[in-house]
Amino acid sequence: MENIKSYLSKAVRQVISELYGSEAVPQSIDWQLTRKEFEGDLTLVVFPYTRYSKKSPEATGAEIGEKLLSEVISDFNVVKGFLNLKIADTQLLQDFNSLFSADSLVEKLEQPVGVMVEYSSPNTNKPLHLGHVRNCLLGWAVGNIQQAVGNRVTRVQIINDRGIHICKSMLAWQRFGNGETPESTGMKGDHLVGKYYVIFDQAYRKEIAELKDQGLSEEQAKDEAPLMVAAREMLKQWENGDAEVFQLWEMMNEWVYAGFNETYQRMGVSFDKNYYESDTYKLGKSLVDVGISKDIFQRDSDGSVWIDLTDIGLDRKLLLRRDGTSVYMTQDMGTAVQRFEDYDIDRLIYTVGNEQDYHFQVLFAILKKMGYQWADGLFHLSYGMVDLPSGKMKSREGNVVDADDLITAMELGAQEMTESLGKADGMEPTERTDLYRQIGLGALKYFILKVDPKKRMTFNPEESIDLQGNTGPFIQYTYARIQSLLRKAGEIKSLEISSEILHEERELIKQILRYSEVVHHAARENSPALIANYTFDLVKMYNGYYQNHSILRNDDASVTAWRLRLSSLVARIIRDALALLGIESPNKM
């Protein structure tokens, strides 16, 4: 479709210039798809030209349309100020055929760039939850989409493996753990460590309550509770390289990593490189000196260092504490610089929730002020929180949806549904479990990815298991049915292909030809939702077609051959699009 549009844009410029003179020629011409209720495929809005033509919109449209008739444009009509053009069947078929035999369904960028995508970025004191799931799925899909348009993609996570939160788990394990391990308990490592984080919190709160009874203020109690004092002490020991603490830290982190990796694997996401905060937390301090020497940062009389961003509508922000230690912002500055040194990249996408919008606004502003050329290539892929029907997820209230539990529940839901429909009756046991996995995850991923990332979303476990309507399994099902057709067709493929096309087939071809531009659009916007919505539309169209026109049972072999060809390209696009979303396409379901 893109080639038709660019041909037409050129033609329209030419025509406008001929008719109304060169100053009437617009910079760019935006085409829109003709609405269903009108005849035509592409529509040019002619209102902008009436001031040059000095004629009515209808007359203007008609005289432009007249001159556009060609092998590409077979017909036109004008309704009010809208010039509707009909693309010639031969042109559509030609484009269809060239896409059919193309290596890639998506056109590659002429000038690809290097893109690093950061996602997940967990803390190591508790297991992954629903929020991480949205994060991972988004980051993974965005990476796929960037890759699809031809960019080089590096996927990374930064693991927050140090700090007071880890020490809390460590301390609780030391005090109350009785030497429990993932092996001895059979628990996943991340869940085991998370358990001790909860234990710490409970014991800590008890201490706070006791201290408050003794007359201390809330703040004092929180600060002076023996457990908190001990945790802070442990953090200090860790920073001083205390062997015993370090060993405990390493051991428990290893448990967590094993657990995370299992979850990542089930989700189907992976990373090219892990950054660890324990390696990077000291980065950025040297940048502070540079900034001071350039007079971008200021040192206060107490020794703390600040940047003043009030000139661009932001605040004054701390970069170095009075005692010379760095803050999150400083680390992130250092890490960004490091990444552009480590890799040949032009862009860096941070997949992080929208509660950190301000943080990234400031981070990017600072790096820009410091004069880094690449600062314009930084992008915060900000996404909204995931709520439950009962409201907000709060770890305090224990209504956090655990990622592992969620995946299991989705697989079970898929299994129940599949069994009750008898869809897997003839399958081998391993084939079945694989199918349940594919469907369950397909439902989960699609449910989350179909929503615009920046929107806050409600996750309803029951609805997400739904397999009807705008869902992953609905799309997978269409793919499976086409595969079944292609299997059955086997030998009856005729070399002769009918060239008559039905209205529904025209509509399908047009949708198919849009795929590449949709992927490019999704890449520009970093929005997998665009691909999800496109695919749903394609599938809806195809299902209507499938239901109303017999593909195999047909008197004319050449018609069957054409319909199979059309179906198989639809299937390839479904599979390609779902793969971009990280969703598998089962051959049977």
* 317-346: contacts with RNA (CB under 7 A): 318, 321-323, 325, 327-328
State the Cα–Cα distance between residues 221 and 213, nearest whole angstrom: 10
213: tokens are 């009874």
- Site membership for RNA, residue 133 (CB under 7 A): no
Give the pairing type, strands 297-299 and 42-45: unpaired
17, 32, 265, 286: which one binds RNA (CB under 7 A): 32
- Residue whose CB is less far from RNA, 263 or 533: 533
CB of 146 to RNA, least distance (A): 18
Determine phi and psi for 381, rounding to 5 degrees. Answer: -80, 90
Q: Evaluate whether 440 touches 413 at the Cβ level (below 8 Å).
A: yes
489-528 binders of RNA (CB under 7 A): 521
Given phi > 0 = left and psi -120 to 50 = alpha, else beta, which region is 150? Answer: left
Q: Does 190 bind RNA (CB under 7 A)?
A: no
Q: 33 or 109, CB closer to RNA?
A: 33
Report in angstroms how near the CB of residue 16 gets to RNA at its nearest.
14
Does position 401 interact with RNA (CB under 7 A)? The reply is: no
Q: Is 565 exposed, middle or buried (0-12, 13-18, 19+ CB in 10 A)?
A: middle
**Binding status of residue 80 toward RNA by CB under 7 A:** yes
| Beta-strand relationship, 316-320 and 305-308 | antiparallel
Collapsed DSSP state (helix, strand, coil) of residue 33: strand
**Would you count residue 53 as binding RNA (CB under 7 A)?**
no
Query: Smaller CB distance to RNA: residue 288 or 345?
Result: 288
Instruction: Tell me how far apart the alpha carbons of residues 410 and 266 are, in angstroms, rounded to a whole number.
Output: 12
Site for RNA in 340-379 (CB under 7 A): 354-359
Of 37-45, 95-103, 130-138, 286-294, the segment contacting RNA by CB under 7 A is: 37-45
Work out whether 304 is an interface residue with RNA (CB under 7 A): yes
524 to 543, contacts with RNA by CB under 7 A? 529-530, 533, 536, 540, 543
The answer to whether the beta carbons of residues 386 and 459 sit under 8 Å apart is yes
Q: Does 485 engage in binding with RNA (CB under 7 A)?
A: yes
The answer to whether residue 312 forms part of the interface with RNA (CB under 7 A) is no
**What stretch of H or E contains 509?**
helix 503-525
Q: How far is the CB of 186 from RNA (least distance, A)?
A: 29
SS3 410: helix
- Ranges within 222-251 binding RNA (CB under 7 A): none
Q: Quick one: tokens of 411?
A: 């697989």
Examine residue 210 and tell whether it contacts RNA (CB under 7 A): no
Based on the shown chain and the rule CB under 7 A, indicate whether residue 469 belongs to the binding site for RNA: yes
Toward RNA, which CB reaches closer, 246 or 328? 328
Helix (H) or strand (E) holding 567, with range, is helix 557-580
Q: State the minimum distance, in angstroms, from the CB of residue 283 to RNA.
A: 13
Q: Is 135 in the site for RNA (CB under 7 A)?
A: no
DSSP secondary structure, 317-377, as one string:
EEEE-TTS-B-HHHHHHHHHHHHHHHS--SEEEEEEEGGGHHHHHHHHHHHHHTT-GGGGG
**Residue corresponding to tokens 């030209």:** 49
CB of 373 to RNA, least distance (A): 25
Single residue of 59, 88, 93, 385 touching RNA by CB under 7 A: 385
460 binds RNA, rule: CB under 7 A: yes
Q: Is 387 exposed, middle or buried (0-12, 13-18, 19+ CB in 10 A)?
A: middle
For residue 480 the two structure tokens come to: 């499976």
Which position among 70, 185, 217, 484 is part of the footprint of RNA (CB under 7 A)?
Answer: 484
Q: Does 34 bind RNA (CB under 7 A)?
A: yes
Provide the terminal-to-terminal Cα distance of the chain, rounded to the nearest Å.
32
Sole window of 156-164, 167-175, 176-184, 208-216 interacting with RNA (rule: CB under 7 A): 156-164
Of 12, 15, 20, 43, the residue at the interface with RNA (CB under 7 A) is 43
- For position 220 contacting RNA by CB under 7 A, the verdict is no
Cα–Cα distance measured from residue 435 to residue 426, given in angstroms and rounded to the nearest whole number? 13
Q: Which stretch binds RNA (CB under 7 A): 6-14, 38-46, 250-258, 569-577?
A: 38-46
From residue 270, how far is each of 91, 263, 424, 441 by CA, in Å?
42, 10, 30, 16
Does 310 bind RNA (CB under 7 A)? Our answer is no
Of 471, 516, 526, 535, the one binding RNA (CB under 7 A) is: 471
Pick 143 or 453: Cβ nearer RNA: 453
Among 94, 160, 433, 568, binds RNA (CB under 7 A): 160
Site stretch for RNA (CB under 7 A), options 45-53, 192-200, 366-374, 576-584: 45-53
- Which of residues 463, 496, 500, 556 is near RNA by CB under 7 A? 463
Q: Which of residues 282-301 bind RNA (CB under 7 A)?
A: 300
Shortest distance (Å) from residue 331 CB to RNA: 8
Directed axis angle between helix 503-525 and helix 528-548, to 10°?
Answer: 170
Residues 99-128 that bind RNA (CB under 7 A): 123
**Interacting residue with RNA among 466, 502, 507, 557 (CB under 7 A):** 466
Of residues 412 through 441, those in contact with RNA by CB under 7 A are 414, 417-418, 421, 423-424, 435, 439
Smallest separation, CB 181 to RNA (Å) = 25
Is residue 315 near RNA by the rule CB under 7 A?
yes
Beta bridge partner(s), residue 305? 299, 320
DSSP 8-state class, residue 123? B
- Give the strands of the sheet with 32-33, arranged side by side: 32-33, 42-45, 82-87, 73-79
Q: Does 52 sit near RNA (CB under 7 A)?
A: no
Of 176, 376, 549, 556, the one binding RNA (CB under 7 A) is 549
Any idea which residue has 């201390």 for tokens? 216
**Which of 203, 250, 243 is CA-nearest to residue 227?**
203
Distance of CA 461 to the CA centre of its chain: 20
Tokens (6 digits) for 309: 């961003």
What distance in Å separates the CA atoms of residue 20 and residue 398, rounded to the nearest whole number?
69
